[in-house]
């Protein structure tokens, strides 16, 4: 592998000059620059970024720390779409993305911030980690610039991008209320996600503003999992036959709920209306198509990357809140009179 030294030797100049020539400094004559460039090309030179990073003290890499890169999570393109957004923005810069392995046992031995520090990433994007993850605080407290997705923590070195979860959930609930439903349940995620709290809040706000009493036992946690949600929904709907609608904090859980309803012989939307959250790909393909609150996952990743690069260039951390959109499909209908 050819180095700057080889070029220097071939061109009969010092390594300093080669370096400065290649990097476009002005204190090298056009003649020698040309010569150096030619030799570099001829020798098929590519700079060793490791060496460069070492001396410049920046690696031009950002770390991407996602959960949800698991075999079971493919149904939920959430992670992938976010990654795509990140990649899309980063592709326009001179940064590269390094993917950190988080879903394995290695998580125990090496903390996130250790990973980041070892690889000397310039910044990091975190997605999908639980709020009680002991390493979350560690990263946030470290001085590594970082942007979080759907975790509202902010400092001068950490920003986040999220969506208007409260309002999104509120719209979903209001949609059901508008259809005449009063006995509305909610399938929430788990307590270790901020979005759960926020969506619950939005749900409650809508109910309260409509003067509809909230039944605590109608609000259950499905752990953001299709299977768990199915089981919980099965219990819920056998115990409380008067529920006519349910708002789910994720589409995946909505799918599970619909399975449970089918098993119970309840029709969607004739007997029970269900609305999801996320607008994953499947939402428009299942039957009946799922009414849901759409969030632009691609843009979330894109904005996160954009903010991070901004921060690396000296700007300060921000918070970006994207708008959600209620998309009404076939899984919701007016409540049956009677």
Partner DNA sequence: TAGTTTTTCCAAAACGTTTCGGATTTTGTG
Partner DNA sequence: CACAAAATCCGAAACGTTTTGGAAAAACTA
Name the site residues for a copy of itself (rule: CB under 8 A): 1, 46-51, 53-54, 59, 61, 64, 69-71, 73-75, 77, 79-81, 83-85, 87-88, 90-92, 96-101, 103-106, 114-115, 117-120, 281-282, 285-287, 298
Q: Binds 337, which of a copy of itself, DNA, none (CB < 5 to 8 A, cut-off by type)?
A: none
Token pair, residue 207, equals: 């109910």
Task: Please check whether residue 278 is in contact with residue 88, taking contact to mean a CB–CB distance below 8 angstroms.
Answer: no
Task: Please check whether residue 259 is in contact with residue 230, taking contact to mean a CB–CB distance below 8 angstroms.
Answer: yes
- Using only C-alpha atoms, the chain has a radius of gyration, in whole angstroms, of 26
Question: What is the C-alpha separation between 191 and 204, in angstroms, rounded?
Answer: 16
Binding DNA (rule: CB under 7 A), the pick from 9, 34, 42, 47 is: 47
Q: Which of 302, 301, 291, 300 is nearest to 325 (CA)?
A: 291
> For residues 26 and 211, which CB has a smaller minimum distance to DNA in the complex?
26
Q: Binds 29, which of DNA, a copy of itself, none (CB < 5 to 8 A, cut-off by type)?
A: DNA
> For residues 155 and 284, which CB has a smaller minimum distance to a copy of itself in the complex?
284
Stretch of 43-51, 75-83, 234-242, 328-336 contacting DNA, by CB under 7 A = 43-51
> For residues 285 and 314, which CB has a smaller minimum distance to a copy of itself in the complex?
285
- Distance of closest approach, residue 114 Cβ to DNA, in angstroms: 12
Distances (CA, A) of 74 to 77, 259, 287, 337: 6, 19, 20, 40
Binding DNA (rule: CB under 7 A), the pick from 24, 41, 55, 108 is: 55
3-class DSSP state for residue 123?
A: strand
Q: Binds 108, which of a copy of itself, DNA, none (CB < 5 to 8 A, cut-off by type)?
A: none
Task: Please check whether residue 128 is in contact with residue 278, taking contact to mean a CB–CB distance below 8 angstroms.
Answer: no
Backbone angles phi, psi at 188, to 5 degrees: -90, 175
Q: Binds 64, which of a copy of itself, DNA, none (CB < 5 to 8 A, cut-off by type)?
A: a copy of itself
Task: Please check whether residue 169 is in contact with residue 202, taking contact to mean a CB–CB distance below 8 angstroms.
Answer: yes
> For residues 16 and 70, which CB has a smaller minimum distance to DNA in the complex?
16
Kindly state whether residue 3 participates in binding DNA, applying the rule CB under 7 A: yes
Task: Please check whether residue 262 is in contact with residue 234, taking contact to mean a CB–CB distance below 8 angstroms.
Answer: no
Helix ranges restricted to H, the chain: 4-11, 15-22, 30-42, 49-56, 78-90, 106-109, 112-119, 134-141, 165-178, 194-209, 226-239, 251-263, 297-312
- Distance of closest approach, residue 48 Cβ to a copy of itself, in angstroms: 6
Q: Binds 91, which of DNA, a copy of itself, none (CB < 5 to 8 A, cut-off by type)?
A: a copy of itself
Residue 43 DSSP one-character state: T
Q: Binds 275, which of a copy of itself, DNA, none (CB < 5 to 8 A, cut-off by type)?
A: none
Kindly state whether residue 42 participates in binding DNA, applying the rule CB under 7 A: no
- Distance of closest approach, residue 62 Cβ to DNA, in angstroms: 20
> For residues 5 and 92, which CB has a smaller minimum distance to DNA in the complex?
5
- What residues between 8 and 37 interact with DNA by CB under 7 A? 12-17, 19-20, 22-23, 26-33
> For residues 47 and 178, which CB has a smaller minimum distance to DNA in the complex?
47
Task: Please check whether residue 11 is in contact with residue 39, taking contact to mean a CB–CB distance below 8 angstroms.
Answer: yes
Question: What is the C-alpha separation between 338 and 324, in angstroms, rounded?
Answer: 34
- Distance of closest approach, residue 102 Cβ to DNA, in angstroms: 23
Angle 67-137-100 from CA coordinates, rounded to 5°: 35
3-class DSSP state for residue 304?
A: helix
- Distance of closest approach, residue 337 Cβ to a copy of itself, in angstroms: 30
- Distance of closest approach, residue 283 Cβ to DNA, in angstroms: 48
The footprint of DNA (CB under 7 A) covers: 1, 3-5, 12-17, 19-20, 22-23, 26-33, 45, 47-48, 51-52, 54-57
């Amino acid at each position: 592998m050819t180095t700057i030294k080889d070029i220097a030797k071939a061109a009969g100049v010092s390594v300093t000059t080669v370096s400065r020539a290649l990097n476009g400094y002005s204190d090298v004559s056009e003649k020698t620059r040309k010569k150096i460039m030619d030799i570099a090309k001829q020798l098929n030179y590519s700079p060793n970024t490791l060496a460069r990073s070492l001396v410049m003290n920046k690696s031009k890499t950002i770390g991407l720390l996602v959960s949800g890169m698991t075999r079971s999570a493919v149904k939920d393109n959430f992670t992938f779409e976010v990654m795509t957004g990140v990649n899309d923005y980063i592709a326009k810069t001179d940064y590269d993305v390094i993917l950190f392995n988080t879903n394995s046992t290695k998580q125990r031995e090496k903390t996130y911030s250790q990973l980041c520090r070892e690889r000397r990433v310039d910044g990091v994007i975190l997605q999908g980690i639980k709020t009680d993850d002991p390493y979350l605080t560690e990263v946030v407290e470290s001085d590594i610039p970082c942007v979080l997705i759907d975790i509202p923590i902010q400092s001068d070195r950490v920003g986040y991008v999220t969506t208007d979860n409260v309002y999104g959930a509120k719209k979903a609930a209001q949609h059901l209320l508008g259809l005449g439903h009063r006995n509305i349940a909610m399938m929430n995620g788990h307590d270790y996600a901020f979005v759960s709290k926020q969506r619950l809040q939005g749900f409650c706000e809508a109910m309260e503003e409509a003067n509809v009493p909230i039944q605590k036992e109608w609000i259950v946690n499905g752990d953001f999992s299709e299977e768990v949600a199915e089981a919980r929904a099965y219990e819920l709907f056998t115990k409380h036959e008067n529920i006519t609608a349910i708002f789910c904090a994720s589409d995946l859980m909505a799918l599970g709920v619909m399975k449970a309803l089918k098993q119970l012989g309840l029709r969607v939307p004739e007997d029970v209306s269900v609305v999801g959250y996320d607008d994953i790909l499947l939402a428009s393909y299942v039957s009946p198509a799922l009414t849901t609150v759409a969030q632009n996952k691609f843009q979330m990743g894109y904005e996160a990357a954009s903010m991070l690069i901004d921060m690396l260039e000296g700007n300060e951390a921000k918070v970006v809140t994207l708008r959600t959109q209620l998309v009404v499909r076939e899984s919701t209908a007016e409540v049956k009179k009677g």
